[in-house]
Amino acid sequence: MLSSNEIKQRVALKATRMVEPGMTIGLGSGTTLYWFVTALAEHVKEGLNFVAVPTSTDTKRLAEEKGIALKTLDEVDSIDLAIDGADEIDPQWQLIKGGGGALLQEKLVAAVSRKLIIIADHTKLVDHLGHFPLPVEVVPYGWKHVQRRLEQLYRIPISLREKNNRPFLTDHGHYILDCHFKKITDAATLNSELNLVPGVVETGLFIDMVSGLFIGYADGSVKEF
């Protein structure tokens, strides 16, 4: 049986074949994308030519180190293909993302991409979303009032994400509230409701955005959907 990192490496390697010469691609964030960028860099050394739009400071830094040509989202008209990971994937291919804190830029890139391909290990497949805490990105100003409002609306525990005993800051200087729903029965409606709350910037619910999945298993197999 393969380890989690070995599974991610295999999934990432297989997904690199989706990248064709001349493409503009979106590079997601997270541990699985680390292996994808690393594997993709080997194709660059072999002469594969493409341009990538990173979705986080960490991905940008890694891609630059690996010699991948980059542009910002504002420098491209569209994106042919975005590759990203997920924290949870339900049977309808709705997602929870944002465990790494880059959900806003990930969603912006996904929204302008012709295809969004999710690469993940089999543990991310779930019967319903919500066991993984849903990240909700909020502005720092008045964040406690947003937290209280969401707690009142949904009767769930909500925690401010922290790092080194200080509020975790996204690339845009926002905070993240981790919402412990346990079970989300209507992800699309919840996403709409949350975005109507003043102070909410974006949610980690990715609704009707996925074109395909590459899922890795402990026996070494990778299934494409």
Q: Which residues are catalytic?
A: 106
Q: Are strands 88-89 and 200-203 parallel, antiparallel or unpaired?
A: unpaired
